[in-house]
Amino acid sequence: MLDVAGTWLTPDDRQLLRQPEVGGLILFARNTESPTQVRELVRSIRALRPDMLIAIDQEGGRVQRLRRDVLRLPPLREIGLRAGEQASQVARQAAWLMATEMLACGIDISFAPVLDLDYGRSQVIGDRALGRDPDQVSQLGRAYIEGLQAAGMAATGKHFPGHGWAEADSHFALPVDERSEAEIRATDLKPFAALAPLLDGIMPAHVVYPAVDELPAGFSRRWLQQILRAELGFDGVIFSDDLTMAGAHAVGGMPERVDAALHSGCDMLLVCNDRAAAEQALVHCQQRGISEPLRLARMLARSRPGLDYKALPNWSQAVHDLKQWELV
């Protein structure tokens, strides 16, 4: 899964997207001016590759790539601060509204929900988390997943098995969580364990948990095969986090990162914001004879471009509720 430079496709973008090893594209803020423009960009992508899986990070708060002419959603922390059943209702409706808007733009998935715990330690997680209590995060995460799936969007939980304790930002450094395996299981792992049967996808963290494995979770067969697949019974898609991030450099250059992520059990690899690295990853996959498994796109692609979502009978009520609760 790669990215493109701007709001329309360049000749270089088109050549890149024609490569059979490219199975997905992720949109960033630089790619999104308005829903109309995004629909046109997606249309041009689909004309080249009808099976392309198109993703975005549209969590709300500071991580909301498309902002113009869509709802400005609150960070998940604001949902977690609500009490009891109201919090679940807010989570469900916020997820449904976001998913409906993105699907109407032609986007298949938003990488959500964040299931990390907020210990007040990690700035990169912070208010992106639903809370600190694992049972609360499990409850609200379930409601959020229900909202996504009611809209027709696949749900992707991140960042397995939990990025909230490690202080370093994996975009710029390699975070380390030195707690015991028992402590991680009793806290951060609980939302993923509770929600694994409901999730369509999971994105592991570029974090090292030395008590479990010397490798970051996204490169660890212990985490992905023994714990996530065999123990938790997760049978959906495993997306690597971006392999250009500093937290991924622990295993070597781009060819080594590709090999390590595939060996650990990742199904789709993200290589973003570095065209030279993306091309290097593609060449390596071509040399190894690795092609994108189209089952991933068919499993997750559920976009509905052009849908008049504001005419849906529950749209107005959901927006009214979030406004009433002063969340939009």
- pLDDT of amino acid 321: 76
- pLDDT of amino acid 199: 94
Residue 158 marked ligand-binding: yes
Residue 297, CA distances (Å) to 39, 106, 108, 269 in order: 18, 14, 9, 13
Give me the residues of the chain with pLDDT under 70, please: 83, 291-307, 309, 313, 328
Of 307, 305, 301, 304, which is closest to residue 51 (Cα–Cα)? 301
Residue 118 marked ligand-binding: no
Q: In the structure encoding, which two tokens stand for residue 178, read together? A: 């030195």
- pLDDT of amino acid 307: 67
- pLDDT of amino acid 51: 83
Taking a C-beta distance cutoff of 8 angstroms, is the pair 254, 243 a contact?
yes
Cα separation, 116 vs 123, whole angstroms? 12
Residue 65 marked ligand-binding: yes
* Residue 171 among the catalytic residues: yes
Catalytic residue, candidates 116, 213, 241, 242: 241
Catalytic residue, candidates 171, 259, 263, 321: 171
Pairing of strands 208-209, 213-216: antiparallel
Q: pTM above the 0.85 mark? A: yes
Residue 101, CA distances (Å) to 22, 69, 89 in order: 25, 10, 18
Tens digit of each residue's pLDDT (9 = 90 or more) over 171-223: 777 899 999 999 999 999 999 999 999 999 999 999 999 999 999 999 999 99
- pLDDT of amino acid 266: 93
Instruction: Give the position of tokens 């899964």.
Output: 1
Cα separation, 6 vs 106, whole angstroms? 17
Element counts in the chain: helices (H) and strands (E): 12, 10
- pLDDT of amino acid 171: 77
Of 124, 113, 116, which is closest to residue 73 (Cα–Cα)? 113
Residue 39 marked ligand-binding: no
- pLDDT of amino acid 288: 84
Domains of the chain plus CATH, in order, are: 74-324 (3.20.20.300)
Q: In the structure encoding, which two tokens stand for residue 274, read together? A: 């570095």
- pLDDT of amino acid 207: 95
Burial of 95 (0-12, 13-18, 19+ CB in 10 A): buried
| SS3 assignment, position 249 | helix
Pairing of strands 213-216, 24-27: unpaired
Of 214, 256, 264, 222, which is closest to residue 239 (Cα–Cα)? 264
Q: What is the DSSP string of 166-194?
A: --S-TTTS--B--S-HHHHHHTTHHHHHH
Strand segments (E) across the chain: 24-27, 53-56, 58-60, 63-64, 109-110, 156-160, 201-204, 208-209, 213-216, 237-238
- pLDDT of amino acid 85: 80
